[in-house]
Structure 1
Amino acid sequence: MKKTKILLVSDGGVTKALMQKMYELEPYGAEITLVEDTDMPSMGYITDRMGLLEREGINAAPSCEPLLENCADKEIIVVHVASINREVIAASPNLKVAAVLRGGIENADAPALKERGIKLINAPWRSADAVADFTVGMMIAENKNIARAHKLLFEGKWCKNYTNQSYIHNMNRSTVGIIGFGYIGRRVADRAKAFGSKIVVFDPFQKPEAIERAGCAALSLEELLKQSDYVTIHMRLSDQTREYLGEKEFSLMKPTAYFINTARAGLVDTSALLKALQTKSIGGAAIDVFDKEPLSQDNPFLKLDNVTLTPHLAGTSCDTMRNSVDICFEDIKNYIQGKPMTNISN
């Protein structure tokens, strides 16, 4: 039986141990080679690389040498954040499937792969549960002053009165507005429903009937912003969605409403958000993603008393990495067996 040669590239996120799952493909005719991207030994390096690729594109990152050294005869290449760029593609004449164990595909040159007829697959919902959990946590933390109270206690201060004292509401009396109703947005809706919140949704890429079938109200963006006590955005960053929310959109929000961003900083006009927070034209914000990471000590967000800030943690979970492998494992198994793959991105 002809073997399907597969190259796995582990790193400090999707480790060698997690990649062992792929060896279960051997009974289906896979021949596995496992190498390690030693330039990405931990999540700090990985997060920085992801940010670089998102900001500057596929050519901003160097090729992974162990990948280049072992790709020549491989039919499938599986990476986490190592780049599948034109150099790698040119060095892989037998390549048929490129698998990126991430929700996004920024570290793969999708047009170059398409030119060669190489299928690109990824793990689109790998971090959906982690981000949804985190998003609801950020809503509650900002509304209930959890992070602020924690910080003040460590400073020796026992504070019982906060900037938002007059509009600290229970979740079951709140309307949660979700912009973007994909893998993450739907999971945020499910979690907020469990708290008894009313859920309203805007998604320009989905039909209102699909939103209504999920038990949510489909609104225009303008109406969602006007009605919501929490506005959370869950869209992919693209030319269509860059700075999707700006001064006009923040001006439509309630002065007591909270804005939550656990998606991408580029979805928001940062200067407009800062102005809305500084002038208290919105109630507050909880933000996990920033234009430049890490934050500098003079970043204006750090001077505000109506924000909860976290260092790009929303997708962080041991389960996220395991999900990545499990999702792509099923598609690769289908490919080897001649069945359709589910998560094709090109």
Structure 2
Amino acid sequence: MKEIRILCVYDGYITEEVMSKMKELEEFGARITMVSDDEMKDVGDVTNRMLLLEQKGLEAAPTYKTLLENCPDKEILVVHCTSINKEVLEACPKLKAAVVLRGGIENVDINELTKRKIPLINTSWRSADAVSDAAVGMMIAENKNIARSHHYMKEGRWVKSYVNQKYIHNMNKCTVGLIGYGAIGSRVAKKLKGFDSDILVYDPFVSREMIEKDGVKVVDLDQLLEASDFVSMHLRLSDQTKKIMGKREFAKMKKTAYFINTARAGLVDTSALVEVLKDREIGGAAIDVFDQEPLPTDHPYLELENITLTSHLAGTASDTPVVSVEIGVEKLKDFLTGMTEENDR
């Protein structure tokens, strides 16, 4: 069996201990080398890097020099948020695959990988359960005023009437519109079925057949906005989806409907959302992702009564790093088995 050299780069989120599961691949002919990305020593460093990549692109992120020093003889690179950019790819003449242990792939130069015919493996559903749990939780929190009531009680106030008092509904009386039906959106739908909610879906990137097999209804965007009591974002951010929710789209929503975003801030025109919330043109919102993080202390969101805010926590779970590596290991086992079979022909 030919030895396959794999370089794994761990960081402050996917730690050395968690990444060590990659050593299971040694049974498949892999030789594992592990290095630490010392530029991302803790979770804060990692989330800052994610935001930098999302907002300013791969070019804004530094090349990790230790990766460059260790990659020339490697055939597979496994990273979390460390960049695999053109400089890295030029230093890896033997590269046969790149692995990113996260859902997003902003830290990889896709064009260069494509030119070099190098496959990219990622763990697209690693935080799908965590984020889908949070999305449903934020729907309930905003509708039932859970965060507001907690806040008031900490202030010594016993508040029984809220701005949404006339349209607090049970979930089994609500229609939920999901914009996006990938790993996260589909899980949200599954969980909402337990509440007997009606579910509408808009996703131009997934076939109608794939969505309808789950027993949910496919509609166009305007139909979803007009009919839903909750509108929840689950698309990946791209040139096609940037600011897909703007002034026109918010105007289509019911005055009693809630807007939920646990996906990406760039999917939304923030100023348009602030305007409709301030003017009470929609019922409320629950937001986990922001154009600037941490949220500035003078942000207009903080002046609104009809919004629930969390500090980019939706994907947070102690299970997520472990799940990321577990998925990566299973995908690489398949990849290495395929390489072995090809070499045996």
TM-score normalized by the length of structure 1: 0.96
Alpha-carbon separation, structure 2, partners of 1:218 and 1:147: 32
Q: In structure 1, what residue type is equivalent to 2:52?
A: L
CA distance, structure 1, for counterparts of residue 339 and residue 168 of structure 2? 52
**Match runs of 1:278-289 below 5 Å:** 278-289=278-289
Question: 1:310-329 residue pairs with structure 2 within 5 A?
Answer: 310-329=310-329
Instruction: Tell me by how many angstroms 1:205 deviates.
Output: 2.0
Q: Could you tell me how far 1:318 is from its partner in structure 2?
A: 1.7
Q: 2:262 matched to which residue of 1? A: 262
1:277 paired to 2:241: no
Q: Mapping of 1:1-346 within 5 angstroms?
A: 1-338=1-338
Give 1:208 shift.
2.7
Q: Distance in 2 between matches of 1:74 and 1:212?
A: 43
Alignment deviations for residues 40-84 of structure 1 (CA, whole Å, 9 cap, x no partner):
111111111011011111111111122122111100110000111
Please report how far the alpha carbon of residue 206 of structure 1 lies from its aligned counterpart in structure 2 after TM superposition. Answer: 2.6
Identity, in percent, stands at 58
Q: Distance in 2 between matches of 1:155 and 1:48?
A: 32
SS at match of 1:17: helix
Aligned in 2, Cα 1:175/1:339: closer, same or farther, shift over 3 Å? Answer: farther
Q: Residue 67 of structure 1 aligns to which amino acid in structure 2? A: L
How far is the alpha carbon of 1:2 from its aligned partner?
2.3
- Residue 209 of structure 1, CA deviation: 3.2
Give the Cα separation in 2 of the matches to 1:17 and 1:299: 39
3-state DSSP of counterpart to 1:337? helix
Whichever residue aligns with residue 175 of structure 1, its letter is T
Structure 1 residue ranges (4+ consecutive) displaced by more than 3 angstroms after TM superposition: none
Shifted more, 85-94 versus 235-244: the winner is: 85-94
Report Cα offsets for 1:159-197 as digits up to 9, x if no partner: 111111111111111111111111111100011110111
Letter of the structure 1 residue corresponding to residue 262 of structure 2: T
Unaligned 5+ segments in structure 2 are: 341-345
Q: For residues 76 and 217 of structure 1, what CA distance do their matches in structure 2 show?
A: 41
Q: Aligned equivalents of 2:189 and 2:160: distance in 1?
A: 31
Distance in 2 (CA, whole Å) between partners of 1:337 and 1:32 is 16
* C-alpha separation in 2, matches of 1:33 and 1:220: 48
> Deviation of residue 339 (structure 1)?
5.9
Counterpart amino acid of 1:19?
A: M
- Check 1:339–1:134 CA distance in 2 against 1; reply closer, same or farther (3 A cut): farther
Distance in 1 separating the partners of 2:46 and 2:181: 27
What TM-score do you get using the length of structure 2 for normalisation?
A: 0.96
Corresponding pairs, count: 340
Residue in structure 2 matched with residue 343 of structure 1 by the alignment: none
Instruction: State the one-letter code of the partner of 1:286.
Output: A
> Could you say what secondary structure the match of 1:325 adopts?
helix
Q: Distance in 2 between matches of 1:65 and 1:207?
A: 42
Aligned equivalents of 1:309 and 1:38: distance in 2? 31
Q: For the residues of structure 2 that align with 1:92 and 1:65, how far apart are their CA atoms?
A: 13
CA RMSD of aligned residues (A): 1.2
